Structure 1
Amino acid sequence: MKHTFSVVYFLLAGLYIAFIEQLPGYMGAGVKALPIVLLMFLVSWRLAGVWRSAMVVALLFSAAGDVLLALDSGGSGDKSDSHLFIAGLGSFLMAQLVYAGLFWTHRASGQNRVGLSIFAFVFMSVAGMLVVPYTGDMQAPVMAYILAIGAMLMGAAVCDRPVNRLFAGALLFALSDLVIAVNKFIVPFAWAGIVIMATYYLAQYFIVAGVLAEADKD
């Protein structure tokens, strides 16, 4: 990605992270989604065909998930709204499925990719065993989401794009979601919001960077 674009992206991401506690309701939701909207415009400009369509859709679902989860506290920070959380989870579930379908459709072979796929399977299995027992009534949607992000992570391992960037982005995405789950269902902890958003913004950046690295060859 161009240096100027990267600077603007991380400035917007840093702005949200720096003021994560001070940005209320819809204003905070909008600022949170801005970096992802920027990525959406970039892939729309740089990509073509199925890559452009799928990446725009995945990022659109991601931005919608950002807004819904930002409003999860009812816009005031007083009380969590489980309906908004489930809607946000559903939106990110769709993003993961689109990413997974795109990556698996463009597979490449290689011993290192097999190793990464095994690592992805083990990582998501352990994450599931850690989180699912604590999810109560939300066990089914959380399990569905874990399966989707596992498919996305394994897809990134076998995709024909540069595996170092793409897999790093997918793994950071999985880590961000794991921190969300631990913070919501197991043990809330200080700085969770900052860790979640920092890993999430890095994840989306590296996924897009990995996809764009080979765009000129399509």
Structure 2
Amino acid sequence: MTPQQRTAFITALVLGLAYIALIPQQPWPLSWLLKPLPMLIYAALMWHAFGGATGRWLALGYVAAATGDFFLDYGERDGLFMQALLAFLVNQIALIVAFARPGAGRPMPWLRALPALLYCVLLAAWLVPRSGHLMLPVAVYLGSLLAMAVMACRVEARIGPVWLGAMLFLLADSLIGVNKFATPFPHAVLVIVCCYFTGQSLIAWGLLRVARPARS
């Protein structure tokens, strides 16, 4: 990671932690502006670190994540839920395509992907029937989450931050569905945002670590 990349990455971390620290004070003015900023910084980092198609797909993924963050916060999580779901679906698809490139040529480590596979199968069987008229969108989104997590398993030669970040991202987005459709739980927003931001940050950090060999 270059000094410029490190500075930008730390800036994104500080902004994300500031948003998390202010969650108990919500609603407060301009929270919808603060929340997307870390993902936009990660988008710029991916664009410059990878270049080419991989950089564009990763940048698109993080811009879509920033858009989903905006919709969730500005709509107070439920008001613009479908718009957020669509934005995060674009995020997942972009990451699936991008993850296929650094890991090209490596066999799929199915044992590494097993936790995500088991979790999504059990979650889908429990959550999808409880999603009411959104059963199909929720099922499609869970499928895209699973595909993203599985593709992340092949990015690194061994278990690392990309894998761990993808697992946390999978957990965070699935908990949104659990909290909305099945079992609301205390401090849901704080738990979900902590898992989500940590996951996205780990993915960005891990990708920056593999950016140079992937580019060459």
With normalisation by structure 1, the TM-score equals 0.87
Give the AA of the match of 2:106.
Answer: S
Q: Which residue does 2:96 correspond to in 1?
A: 100
Give the AA of the match of 2:186.
Answer: A
How many angstroms apart in 2 are the aligned matches of 1:88 and 1:6?
24
User: Quick check: 1:107–1:160 contact (8 Å CA) kept in 2?
Assistant: no
Q: 1:32 aligns with which of 21, 29, 35?
A: 35
Q: Does 1:123 align with 2:119?
A: yes
Q: Does 1:17 align with 2:20?
A: yes
Instruction: Give the superposed CA RMSD.
Output: 2.1
Give the AA of the match of 2:184.
Answer: P
Higher mean Cα deviation, 178-187 or 100-109? 100-109
Higher mean Cα deviation, 28-37 or 16-25? 16-25
User: Quick check: 1:161–1:210 contact (8 Å CA) kept in 2?
Assistant: no
Report % sequence identity. Answer: 27
Q: How does 1:163-182 map to 2 (within 5 A)?
A: 163-182=159-178
Q: 2:84 aligns with which of 56, 81, 88?
A: 88
3-state secondary structure, aligned to 1:35 = helix
Higher mean Cα deviation, 116-125 or 28-37? 116-125
User: Quick check: 1:176–1:199 contact (8 Å CA) kept in 2?
Assistant: yes
What residue ranges of structure 1 are gaps of 5+ in the alignment?
A: 75-79
1:133-177 CA distances to partner (integer Å, 9 max, x unpaired)?
A: 211111110001000011001101123566421111110000101
Cα offset, 1:25, TM superposition: 7.0
How many angstroms apart in 1 are the aligned matches of 2:97 and 2:202?
18
Q: 1:201 aligns with which of 193, 197, 200?
A: 197
Equivalent pairs, count: 210
Q: 1:109 aligns with which of 106, 110, 113?
A: 106
User: Quick check: 1:9–1:38 contact (8 Å CA) kept in 2?
Assistant: yes
Higher mean Cα deviation, 21-30 or 57-66? 21-30
Q: How does 1:175-190 map to 2 (within 5 A)?
A: 175-190=171-186
Give the AA of the match of 1:208.
Answer: A
How many angstroms apart in 2 are the aligned matches of 1:162 and 1:31?
34
Q: Which residue does 1:48 correspond to in 2?
A: 51
User: Quick check: 1:36–1:62 contact (8 Å CA) kept in 2?
Assistant: yes
With normalisation by structure 2, the TM-score equals 0.88
